[in-house]
């Protein structure tokens, strides 16, 4: 009697005699490994028409360990494998199991060993030594029991994939949240949120959505309209090509509904996030993925929306503090510089120009923000310069220059005791912003890159702005005259690389001068 004769009991013959037609829907991939042709045929008759969890079973056939390895290598993943123990060798099936678990590192596939010669590989020994999920004697496997084996194996594989997808979803959630929490500026916050939603929904095993970017828009409620903060996908394209940049009616209706109910809304097609914080008002998030949202995807978006709300509130408060701090620096610096005739908005312009030049020089955003705050304090040392020198309406003589030069060290001494990063940077700038690239500056005749980069940046923009100011003893330089001055000073007074960047930024510097003109 052959193995195939033992596969089914006499009273349990298969009822199905034809295989189902192929479908484009996802299928459970089942690998049948056996050297008996009849076993393959009978297994196909029993399992070929089975479906589980709205997906059909798709059978793949291998007649030896070698063929099975090729399929496993070239066409993964498989949900379940039914493996004969004895094939080209007495232990071929056992060696295939070790190959799958140890070499392919596939811990997900459910492995069931089948044998018609139980004495060849005793059940207790095999179960103990090999990472398998079941071990069956072919004499046990009626068609009902074989289908039961299929369903239990697929159910186990599905649950493993669900756990993996949940773990990946949690990982994506943490990653997405950490990125928006690290966003330091409100203008880029909404864009960061939408960018990370694509990652958040891009889970494995088709758990939620397998396409990015999603169609999404973030908006803020302003009385009778919605201010668009950021958009992605088709919505972004639509808004870019629309003259009035109006949201589609469908999105507006969803937003109105969320506002009316004061809660988030979600179904299989869309997710509408709603969060209302007193300090920031009502903010809304529309997300339409390219695949249906399931409960896990909606749950992740609920958690993410709460994180967004908290982060948005914190960023709003942080931005208010930052602006107040910057305004305080401006007021302090301008109060000191009011002693200098003809300069009113000089420190504001230097601050903004330094920020732009720092960005162009490749300095990271956080450091550029510190530079924006530190740059206005570059001449704080003038508080220690006598009025008769500081307010002089004619050009300085040598004695005046020596006295005025002291403001660098005075400023550095005022600021250096602080441990705050902004004030430490400001101390360096105050001390070195009159040093020259060729070593001819003061107070320490530092040369080249011995001069702090932030001080070199402020040195360039300070001169650009000062030359553009009208003085009692000379008219303001024209834009072309400032450019000529920079070119002549490149490699002498100024860092040549920074001069090149500054020349490219001259149109932007001109805009800053127009935005913050001198009051005179």
Q: Is residue 457 part of a domain?
A: yes
Torsion of CA 253, 254, 260, 262, to 10 degrees: -160
Give domain status of residue 330, yes or no: no
Report the CATH number that the domain containing residue 342 is assigned in CATH: 1.10.3210.10
90 versus 216: the higher-pLDDT residue is 90
Over 80: is that where the pLDDT of 273 sits? yes
Together in a domain, 128 and 27: yes
Task: Give me the percent of the chain exceeding a pLDDT of 90.
Answer: 35
Residue 332 lies in a domain: no
Whether residue 143 is found in the same domain as residue 254:
no
Judged against a pLDDT cut of 90, whether residue 66 lies above it is answered with: yes
DSSP letter, residue 104: S
Residue 33 confidence (pLDDT) above 70: yes
* 157 and 190 fall within a common domain: no
pLDDT of 125 > 80? The answer is: no
pLDDT at 162: 76
Q: Are residues 436 and 484 in the same domain?
A: yes
**Which CATH number is 189's domain given?**
3.30.450.40
Of the candidates 135, 293, 136, which has an alpha carbon nearest to the alpha carbon of residue 209? 293
Closest residue by Cα to residue 374 from 438, 331, 424, 300: 424
Query: How many helices (H) does the chain have, and how many strands (E)?
Result: 20, 11
Which segment of 76-85, 130-139, 230-239, 481-490 scores lowest on mean pLDDT?
230-239
Radius of gyration from C-alpha coordinates of the chain = 37
CA 440 vs. chain centroid, Å, equals: 46
Q: What local confidence, expressed as pLDDT, does residue 192 receive?
A: 61
DSSP state, residue 474: B
- For residue 433, how many C-alpha atoms fall within 13 Å in the half-sphere facing its CB? 31
pLDDT of residue 180: 57
The percent of residues above 70 in pLDDT, for the chain, comes to: 76
Query: 156 and 38 in one domain?
Result: yes
Whether residue 217 has pLDDT greater than 80: no
Of 8-22, 144-158, 416-430, the one with minimum mean pLDDT is 8-22
Tell me the mean pLDDT in the region 173-180.
61
pLDDT of residue 142: 86
Query: What does the pLDDT read at residue 238?
Result: 75
Does 275 lie in the same domain as 422? no
| pLDDT, position 78 | 94
Q: Which two tokens stand for residue 341?
A: 């005739």
The pLDDT, as a whole number, for residue 209 is: 28
Segment of 7-11, 247-251, 507-511 carrying the highest mean pLDDT:
507-511
Taking the C-alpha atoms of residue 271 and residue 191, their distance in angstroms, rounded to an integer, is 17
Say how far apart CA 334 and CA 347 lie, in whole Å: 7
Task: Please state, as a whole number, how many other Cβ atoms lie within 10 Å of the Cβ of residue 439.
Answer: 14
pLDDT per residue as tens digits for the range 310-366: 776 777 777 766 666 666 666 666 656 655 555 568 888 999 999 999 999 999 988
Lowest-confidence pick of 64-73, 342-351, 509-518: 342-351
Mean pLDDT value across the chain: 79
pLDDT tens for each residue of 427-473: 999 999 999 999 999 999 999 999 999 999 999 999 999 998 887 77
ω into 239 cis (within 30 of 0): no
State the pLDDT at residue 166: 66
Same domain, 159 and 209: no
| Mean of pLDDT values over 239-259 | 80
Domain membership of residue 173 (yes or no) is: no
Q: Which DSSP string do the residues of 198-223 spell out, in sequence order?
A: HHHHB-GGGSSB--SSPEEEEEEEET
CA angle 360, 366, 369 (to 5 degrees): 75
Q: Specify if 329 maps to a domain.
A: no
Is the residue at 177 inside a domain?
Answer: no
> Do 124 and 235 fall within a single domain?
no
Q: Would you tell me how many other CB atoms lie within 10 Å of the CB of residue 432? A: 25
Given a cut of 90, whether residue 97 has pLDDT beyond it is yes
What CATH number is associated with residue 34?
3.40.50.2300
The stretch 31-38 carries a mean pLDDT of 94
Residue 199 pLDDT grade (very low, low, confident, very high; cuts 50, 70, 90): low
Residue 326 lies in a domain: no
Same domain, 101 and 193: no
Residues paired with 58 in a beta bridge = 29
User: What is the maximum span of the chain, computed from C-alpha positions, in angstroms?
Assistant: 118
Do 287 and 216 lie in one domain? The reply is yes
What confidence tens digit (pLDDT) does each residue in 483-503 have?
A: 999 999 999 999 999 999 999
Mark which of 163, 193, 217 sits at the end of a domain.
Answer: 163
Residue 201 has pLDDT above 70, yes or no: no
98 and 197 fall within a common domain: no
Q: How confident is the model at residue 242 (pLDDT cuts 50, 70, 90)?
A: low
Split into its structural domains, the chain has a count of 3
pLDDT in tens, 371-422: 998 898 888 887 787 777 766 777 777 887 888 888 888 888 888 777 788 8
Mean pLDDT is lowest, of 200-209, 212-221, 396-405, for 200-209
Same domain (yes/no): 497, 388: yes
Is this structure's pTM higher than 0.75?
no
Is the Cβ–Cβ distance between 427 and 480 less than 8 Å?
Answer: no
**Domain range enclosing 435:** 338-515
Rounded to whole angstroms, the Cα distance separating 375 from 377 reads 5
Query: Which of 283 and 195 is assigned the larger pLDDT?
Result: 283
Across 48-54, average pLDDT: 87
Range with lowest mean pLDDT among 31-45, 161-175, 241-255: 161-175
Rounded Cα distance between 266 and 287, Å, is 9
Residue 239 lies in a domain: yes
Confidence at residue 506, expressed as pLDDT on a 0 to 100 scale: 96
Q: Is the pLDDT of residue 300 over 80?
A: no
Mean pLDDT of 71-85: 92
Asked whether 433 and 493 are in contact (CB, 8 A), the reply is no
pLDDT at position 420: 81
- Residue 96 scores a pLDDT above 50: yes
pLDDT of residue 499: 96
Q: In whole angstroms, what is the distance from residue 273 CA to residue 259 CA?
A: 10
């Amino acid at each position: 009697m052959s193995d195939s004769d033992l596969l089914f009991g006499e009273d349990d013959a298969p009822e199905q005699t034809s295989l189902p037609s192929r479908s484009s829907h996802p299928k459970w991939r089942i690998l049948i490994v056996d050297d008996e042709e009849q076993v393959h045929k009978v297994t196909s008759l029993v399992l070929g028409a089975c479906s589980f969890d709205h997906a059909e079973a798709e059978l793949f056939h291998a007649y030896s360990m070698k063929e099975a390895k090729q399929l496993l290598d070239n066409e993964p993943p498989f949900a379940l494998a039914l493996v004969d123990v004895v094939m080209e060798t007495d232990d071929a099936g056992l060696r295939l199991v070790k190959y799958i678990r140890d070499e392919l590192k596939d811990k997900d596939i459910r492995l069931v060993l089948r044998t018609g010669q139980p004495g060849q590989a005793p059940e207790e020994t095999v179960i103990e030594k090999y990472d398998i999920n079941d071990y069956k004697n072919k004499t046990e496997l009626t068609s009902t029991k074989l289908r039961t084996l299929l369903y239990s194996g697929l159910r186990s594989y599905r649950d493993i994939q669900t756990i993996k997808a949940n773990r990946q979803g949690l990982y994506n959630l943490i990653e997405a949240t950490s990125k928006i929490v690290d966003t330091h500026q409100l203008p880029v916050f909404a864009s960061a949120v939408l960018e990370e939603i694509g990652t958040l929904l891009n889970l494995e095993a088709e758990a939620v959505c397998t396409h990015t970017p999603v169609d999404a828009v973030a908006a803020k409620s302003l009385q009778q309209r919605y201010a668009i903060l950021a958009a992605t996908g088709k919505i972004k394209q639509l808004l870019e090509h629309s003259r009035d940049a109006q949201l589609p009616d469908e999105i507006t209706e969803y937003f109105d509904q969320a506002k009316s109910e004061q809660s988030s809304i979600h179904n299989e097609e869309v997710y509408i996030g709603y969060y209302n914080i007193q300090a920031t008002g009502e903010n809304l998030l529309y997300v339409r993925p390219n695949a249906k949202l399931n409960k896990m995807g909606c749950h992740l978006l609920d958690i993410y929306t709460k994180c967004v709300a908290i982060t948005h509130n914190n960023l709003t408060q942080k931005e208010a503090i930052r602006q107040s701090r910057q305004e305080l620096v401006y007021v302090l610096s301008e109060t000191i510089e009011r002693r200098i005739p003809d300069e009113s908005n000089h420190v504001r312009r230097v601050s903004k120009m330094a920020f732009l030049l720092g960005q162009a020089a490749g300095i990271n955003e956080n450091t550029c923000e510190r530079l924006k705050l530190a740059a206005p304090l570059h001449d704080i040392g003038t508080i220690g310069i006598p009025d008769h020198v500081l307010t002089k309406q004619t050009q300085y003589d040598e004695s005046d220059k020596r006295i005025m030069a002291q403001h660098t060290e005075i400023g550095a001494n005022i600021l250096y005791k602080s441990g705050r990063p902004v004030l430490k940077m400001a101390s360096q700038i105050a001390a070195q912003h009159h040093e020259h690239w060729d070593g001819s500056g003061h107070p320490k005749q530092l040369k080249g890159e011995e001069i702090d980069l932030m001080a070199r940046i402020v040195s360039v923009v300070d001169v650009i702005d000062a030359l553009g100011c009208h003085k009692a003893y000379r008219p303001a330089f024209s834009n072309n005259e400032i450019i000529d001055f920079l070119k002549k000073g490149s490699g002498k007074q100024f860092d040549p690389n920074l001069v090149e960047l500054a020349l490219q930024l001259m149109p932007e510097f001109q805009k800053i001068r127009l935005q913050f003109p001198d009051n005179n």
